[in-house]
Structure 1
Amino acid sequence: MEETNLYYKLGGQKAIRAVVEEFYRRMLEDELVNEAFRGIDMDRLRNHQTAFLSYALGGPVEYDGRTLREGHKGLNITSEQYERMIRIMNDTLRTFNVADEDRVKIEAFLRSVKPFVVGQ
């Protein structure tokens, strides 16, 4: 177990859950991106996103959900919306006092998966 990976640096499952809760609160308030969540079970999405981020950040979590491409199919998310999501995530992470170097790593990950989300 690597204690310096992002999962542990952020504070583990409980802290990641808090970040996810705040992130989606902000996403739902934003007029550019909130339309993508119409008709979505937000509790299910929050649970899913907590598991996915925990896994992606190096936590001891098994992720067996859909791929990013499958999960975003038919949503037609634009590059502009995706960039807004990255800004909202960065702002959320700042609220939780996540170090700049860790926010940069998380943003790099989000940018690396952009082709699997935008335009699906």
Structure 2
Amino acid sequence: MSKQSLFDKYGGFSQVSRVVLSFYDTLLDSDEIGPFFDNVDMTKMVDHQTKFIASLLGGPASYTPRQLEQLHSHLAITDAHFDELKVVLRDTLGEFGFEPGDIDAVLQEFENRRNLIVGAPND
């Protein structure tokens, strides 16, 4: 019997979509992260982020390392920004009832992609 993915365990795309909407509600209020989304089509952003988070949960959507680099290469995302994203993601997953071990697993998948997303060293 195969192990159930976190994606399936936590309700698939419909639940991941709710997680992402809550995640962005918090991020858009951030003085550090919010400005990255000025002049961004948030409908498309939420769609892309839903697919990305789904992939972190072992779901069917995925982005190649090259795609992640290309999507973030024009942004000056620092390690500090990435760390804030991780905190918001941890809190959001907790709010949606994710078990602590599952949150850690998702955050590790996110951390594994740090070098593809962070493009600028900290000041």
The TM-score normalised by the length of structure 1 is 0.89
* Contact kept in structure 2, 1:3 and 1:9, CA below 8 Å: no
Q: 1:46 to 1:83 in 2, by over 3 A?
A: same
Q: Where does the alignment leave 5 or more consecutive residues of structure 2 unmatched?
A: none
How do 1:1-120 and structure 2 match up within 5 A?
2=2, 4-61=4-61, 67-119=67-119
Q: Which amino acid aligns with 1:87?
A: V
Q: How many residues align?
A: 119
Q: What CA distance in whole angstroms lies between the structure 1 residues aligned with 2:60 and 2:107?
A: 21
Between the aligned residues of both structures, percent identity stands at: 29
Q: Which amino acid aligns with 1:89?
A: L
* Contact kept in structure 1, 2:28 and 2:37, CA below 8 Å: yes
* Contact kept in structure 2, 1:5 and 1:57, CA below 8 Å: yes
* Contact kept in structure 2, 1:20 and 1:50, CA below 8 Å: yes
Residues 93-115 of structure 1: CA deviation (Å, up to 9, x unaligned):
11101000100001101111000
Structure 1 runs of 4+ with >6 Å offset: none
Q: 1:2 to 1:30 in 2, by over 3 A?
A: farther
Moved more, 45-54 or 18-27: 45-54
* Contact kept in structure 2, 1:76 and 1:118, CA below 8 Å: yes
Q: What CA distance in whole angstroms lies between the structure 1 residues aligned with 2:106 and 2:62?
A: 19
Residues 33-75 of structure 1: CA deviation (Å, up to 9, x unaligned):
11111111111000111122223422234768x7111111111
Q: Which amino acid aligns with 1:98?
A: F
Q: Which amino acid aligns with 1:101?
A: G
Q: Tell me the C-alpha RMSD between the 2 structures.
A: 2.0
Q: Which amino acid aligns with 2:58?
A: G
Q: Which amino acid aligns with 2:8?
A: Y
